[in-house]
Structure 1
């Protein structure tokens, strides 16, 4: 058995996983997001490590068979500065943090964003490592001077448990890695004005590399000293593989607070003149890459519209049943994030809208219109990423039968939803078994999914609606631009 750990932004989970992909036991504990000032979102590394220790000890104590490895995945992006012993140099900066927004705006207007995207295929946003490093270099240079490594959540935990300074190539992909070569682009670093801080970037972990649990960490975790530890991939690619993505062209749809839209590809193709949106990720499989479009829409949109209509999430199925496809003539654009949109187009001023409202519009119509808009966004992103195969879906939104049906109808493809919800930990465990030389039966894991098949009549209807949605975006974008002063 393997203990898979998924260190999320606010919840850390550990699962005891068998080779059939089923979790025999799962334990979780919440972490704290510190918000010391508007726009700042931080985490305490010691507290995050302690959350891992808590859940792993609980799961390890209950194991009735030997544990073969500890497999770690977790949140990506942000900036987790540490010294040579793995101690945090200031609080870790979350991917939700906005302190580097001004840096990114300057990079957008000055062409840096597009240049980096042309070099690495990676788009940036305020909570990604590039802008955050540049912000600290200007405002807190002493922190960078005291740090030995500028990494991410997963490798920060691995350093604490093994003493090794490393980074998984999936994390390192954003934004400085030449993904096919798995080497940092000196041109991208120079474009961002960060060439002198190259020393802070750990070399990527070779495919199949395992680390050894230190004696001190083993005692804390209740596991044997020297136990193999695998580091990554981070949560997005871990969810893709854990939910059953296996063939080139297959897509993964993570219906969470935001949408994680990914497609497995066999080559990296960067359009230097295209929108600087999304990113390319290296994966644990040689010559396989993930084209990722991380939209800013998702279950947060559902929460908003439910609150606005005085409804609750346990009423969702009923509300969706009370409004027919097309939402009584109401349509929506779902760009509600104050940060705008980052995939499949980049526009920090993107804003949402409802059209077609009348005195006959019901709360159910508004809820369905928003659910349909998020599904259209999923199709827009998956098609932009090169979807040609089946789609695996996971996340909180996938638990709704009615909303899952809307996604299937809009995509015109079946959704394959794993029965096992902890797909991030599954993906990490799958990677660990590969590294141990004992790969699991991927077909068996992929078979453990429910299938939501599209309704052919609804597919035709939503295909027309999708093209109307694309037209609505094009019409709306000029109105998002700032109004020039007279």
Structure 2
């Protein structure tokens, strides 16, 4: 068995994953997000490493079986600056951070010749405030000493891996955004130059070869309580790992991840960049050099529902009952779900994007608002999938889909079946699947795919949501024109 570790934005989980895809003991521990002025969101690397050590030790103590490997996945984007020994030179900056919004807004100006469009044309990556581009540019302008002290500008997974193995590396999935040519797996110097940060290009670590397996060093062994030399893998990052863990392994298939962020993704062999398209989303390298993941990750998923429920002093466990209290269409209440202080990053990029409710009346209930927002997020997912070449099954996972009623809304809005894994530890499963391939023991994908259940859309509701989606698109177009006035 393998211990799969999923380092989320605020919760770290570890699970025992067996070769047949079944999941054993699971442990979790919260890590701390530190919020500051101007939309700043930071994390402490030592706090995150402590969370990993705690959950791995807990699940390892639950079994007498040999731990074949530790497989790590976790949050992507953000900026985790470290010295050569793996120590932070400043607090890690989260992908949720908004401090670079003004920089990205300036990069978006200029139409087809904007920095954002030109970088997108080179790498296929949309720029948003919480990615390496904006954060490196902000630090170069405001904290150049931090960059001067750093040996590597990395991500969450490779920061933890660095401290467990002593290896300074990065998974190609993490490195893909925003400066990598995913076909050649090399950084595009022109993209760095366009963002004004070419002098810091040496901080970007070279992507590890597909199938690379590392080993715990003495420090990592002491942290995790596992033997020195235990195999360790780092990546792919959580969006891709969730897809693999949910059974998405074939060309054209998609995955819907309803977590803190709302991610839609499709496996593809086509990396053609449409210069006329909105410079949003990204292509990610996968362990297969000929297969890529096209991703449209919007900024806010379950976080928006948690926010709304908290206003009504309700809990996430109340969600199913609320959705049953309001009919499809939410009695005319609609919502745009762009609630992140950093704006939106898919299927369009706009740091000034903001949420809104429409159709409110004196008779509108809190259930109507909750259902309207849940439907709005489902419409956002449909919008993302329509920007990609989805041509197969859609697996669905994430904390939001623990609600059967919300899962049904997604199936109805998308107008196609969803396949939901029977176990929630999909990120850890995906990381373990990749680790076993690296160890030369690939899993039986058909067996893993069988461990999920099918959610069929209701034909009548799907037709109703087709009409509602057209209204949503019109309201979004109107809102985007109003955001433009704020520039």
Distance 1:67 1:38, change over 3 A: same
Deviation at 1:365, TM superposition (A): 2.3
Q: Where does residue 387 of structure 2 map in the other structure?
A: 384
Q: Where does residue 63 of structure 2 map in the other structure?
A: 63
Deviation at 1:373, TM superposition (A): 1.3
Distance 1:317 1:216, change over 3 A: closer
User: How many pairs are equivalent?
Assistant: 484
Q: Where does residue 28 of structure 1 map in the other structure?
A: 28
Q: 1:397 & 1:346 partners in 2: Cα distance? A: 24
Q: Gaps (5+ residues) in structure 1? A: none
On the 8 A contact 1:267/1:287 being kept in 2, the answer is no
Q: 1:76 & 1:483 partners in 2: Cα distance? A: 30
Deviation at 1:282, TM superposition (A): 0.6
* Aligned ranges 1:241-260 → 2 under 5 Å: 241-260=244-263
On the 8 A contact 2:105/2:350 being kept in 1, the answer is no
Distance 1:142 1:348, change over 3 A: closer
Q: 1:287 & 1:332 partners in 2: Cα distance? A: 39
Distance 1:8 1:307, change over 3 A: closer
Structural RMSD (CA): 1.7
Q: 1:93 & 1:115 partners in 2: Cα distance? A: 25
Q: 1:198 & 1:358 partners in 2: Cα distance? A: 54
Q: For structure 1, which segment, 31-40 or 460-469, has the greater mean C-alpha deviation from structure 2 after superposition?
A: 31-40
Deviation at 1:99, TM superposition (A): 2.1
Q: 2:426 & 2:343 partners in 1: Cα distance? A: 28
Deviation at 1:311, TM superposition (A): 4.4
Q: Where does residue 48 of structure 1 map in the other structure?
A: 48
Deviation at 1:178, TM superposition (A): 0.3
Q: 1:330 & 1:7 partners in 2: Cα distance? A: 36
Q: Where does residue 136 of structure 1 map in the other structure?
A: 139
Instruction: Give the secondary-structure state (helix, strand or coil) at the position aligned to 1:62.
Output: coil
On the 8 A contact 1:341/1:350 being kept in 2, the answer is yes
Deviation at 1:483, TM superposition (A): 5.4
Q: Where does residue 108 of structure 1 map in the other structure?
A: 108
Deviation at 1:102, TM superposition (A): 2.4
Q: 1:8 & 1:305 partners in 2: Cα distance? A: 21
Q: Tell me the alpha carbon deviations over residues 18-40 of structure 1, each in whole angstroms, 9 at most, x when there is no partner.
A: 11222211111111222354422
Q: Please, which of 164, 168, 171 is the counterpart of residue 168 of structure 1?
A: 171
Q: Tell me the alpha carbon deviations over residues 44-88 of structure 1, each in whole angstroms, 9 at most, x when there is no partner.
A: 212211221111122222222111111111111111111111121
Instruction: Give the secondary-structure state (helix, strand or coil) at the position aligned to 2:471.
Output: helix
Q: Where does residue 466 of structure 1 map in the other structure?
A: 469
Q: Please, which of 210, 220, 237 is the counterpart of residue 207 of structure 1?
A: 210
Q: Does 1:77 align with 2:80?
A: no
Q: 1:315 & 1:144 partners in 2: Cα distance? A: 45
Q: Please, which of 356, 359, 363 is the counterpart of residue 356 of structure 1?
A: 359
Q: Where does residue 189 of structure 2 map in the other structure?
A: 186
Instruction: Give the secondary-structure state (helix, strand or coil) at the position aligned to 1:476.
Output: helix
Deviation at 1:259, TM superposition (A): 0.4
Instruction: Give the secondary-structure state (helix, strand or coil) at the position aligned to 2:284.
Output: strand
On the 8 A contact 2:242/2:430 being kept in 1, the answer is yes
Q: 2:486 & 2:251 partners in 1: Cα distance? A: 44
Q: Where does residue 236 of structure 1 map in the other structure?
A: 239
Q: Where does residue 330 of structure 2 map in the other structure?
A: 327
Q: 1:305 & 1:12 partners in 2: Cα distance? A: 24
Q: Where does residue 87 of structure 2 map in the other structure?
A: 87
On the 8 A contact 1:74/1:153 being kept in 2, the answer is yes
Instruction: Give the secondary-structure state (helix, strand or coil) at the position aligned to 2:35.
Output: coil
TM-score normalized with structure 2 length: 0.95
TM-score normalized with structure 1 length: 0.95
Q: 2:86 & 2:187 partners in 1: Cα distance? A: 22
Deviation at 1:323, TM superposition (A): 2.1
Q: Tell me the alpha carbon deviations over residues 268-325 of structure 1, each in whole angstroms, 9 at most, x when there is no partner.
A: 1211222111111111122111111111242223234334455443332222222222
On the 8 A contact 1:10/1:31 being kept in 2, the answer is yes
Q: 2:253 & 2:393 partners in 1: Cα distance? A: 5
On the 8 A contact 2:108/2:117 being kept in 1, the answer is yes
Q: 2:239 & 2:131 partners in 1: Cα distance? A: 15
Deviation at 1:481, TM superposition (A): 2.2
Q: Does 1:262 align with 2:270?
A: no
Q: 2:220 & 2:342 partners in 1: Cα distance? A: 39
Distance 1:322 1:224, change over 3 A: same
Q: 2:19 & 2:384 partners in 1: Cα distance? A: 33
Q: Tell me the alpha carbon deviations over residues 173-221 of structure 1, each in whole angstroms, 9 at most, x when there is no partner.
A: 1100001111100111111122222211111010111111112321332
Q: 1:97 & 1:399 partners in 2: Cα distance? A: 27
Q: 1:75 & 1:215 partners in 2: Cα distance? A: 26
Q: 1:311 & 1:162 partners in 2: Cα distance? A: 43
On the 8 A contact 2:129/2:342 being kept in 1, the answer is no
Distance 1:163 1:117, change over 3 A: same
Q: Does 1:283 align with 2:286?
A: yes
Q: Tell me the alpha carbon deviations over residues 355-383 of structure 1, each in whole angstroms, 9 at most, x when there is no partner.
A: 33333333322222221111111111112
Q: 1:9 & 1:326 partners in 2: Cα distance? A: 32
Q: Gaps (5+ residues) in structure 2? A: none
On the 8 A contact 1:77/1:174 being kept in 2, the answer is yes
Q: 1:239 & 1:413 partners in 2: Cα distance? A: 20
